[in-house]
Amino acid sequence: MGEVKFAIQCYCRDCQQISGGGHLPQIAVPTDQFAAEGKLRTYQTNSESGNVVEVAFCGECGSPLFKSTSKMPDVRFLCAGSLDDDLVNEPFQRVYEESRRVWDE
């Protein structure tokens, strides 16, 4: 899977919709050190900032697995909740908090 570059907890509207909640915890790994196996389904959209975002979901159960963005093509953002292991032992950096929902504490 590669080394962890950084970890974020994103509150943008796109991540809220991907997660079905108020935020999406993600672990960034180098694209060239990441490979996915199994049946995947993908969805592509333009983010609020105009970047192309592609989200990969499990083709069996529909769980969000990872995403990529044209803003950072050298990184894959793994959905932390889809991982069996804790890869990060420190707080996730919070991003796009201006989009945070009042009910997401």
pLDDT digits (tens), the chain, 105 positions? 678 999 999 999 889 999 999 999 999 999 999 989 899 999 999 988 889 999 999 999 999 999 999 999 999 999 998 888 877 877 899 998 999 999 987
Residues in the chain: 105
In-domain check, residue 60: yes
CA–CA distances in Å: residue 12 to residues 35, 46, 60, 86, 92 = 26, 13, 26, 23, 15
Domain of residue 57 covers 6-99
CB 71 within 8 A of CB 50: no
In-domain check, residue 21: yes
In-domain check, residue 105: no
Looking at residue 70, which CATH number applies to its domain? 2.170.150
In-domain check, residue 104: no
Question: Domains in the chain: how many in total?
Answer: 1
In-domain check, residue 14: yes
